[in-house]
Copies of this chain bind each other. A is one copy, B any other.
């Protein structure tokens, strides 16, 4: 079974995660056959490892990790590949892959431009 992991930075304020919770709900409604989990780099639960562990228990054998970040700085270029590799070694039964950050996607950027245009 395939799964998607929406991977965010995390923050101290619990309300920070609201858009991530909304993303997971939208995903479940629109793609009910694909498991979805959130995961956070720091300050929020679950961690990537916890999310993967939960997916393995649900029967997933393949997961795509989508970094819900705008820019690709030190977190995504340095911390994330190491974290992903450690998780892959810990859960060899699940095939992990990843995408670029969502901020690299032209349609995501266009939606931001359109949001700004509506506010003017």
Residues of A near any B CB (own CB < 8 A): 2, 4, 6, 8, 11-13, 15-20, 22-23, 26-27, 30-31, 34, 64, 66, 68, 70-74, 77, 99, 101-105, 107-117, 119-120
> A77: shortest Cβ distance to chain B, in Å?
7
Secondary structure of the A side of the interface?
A: helix
Docked pose: A13 CA to B109 CA in angstroms: 20
16 interchain pairs, CB-CB under 8 A: A2-B120, A8-B70, A13-B71, A13-B72, A13-B74, A13-B77, A16-B72, A17-B71, A18-B71, A18-B72, A19-B101, A19-B109, A68-B70, A68-B112, A105-B111, A110-B111
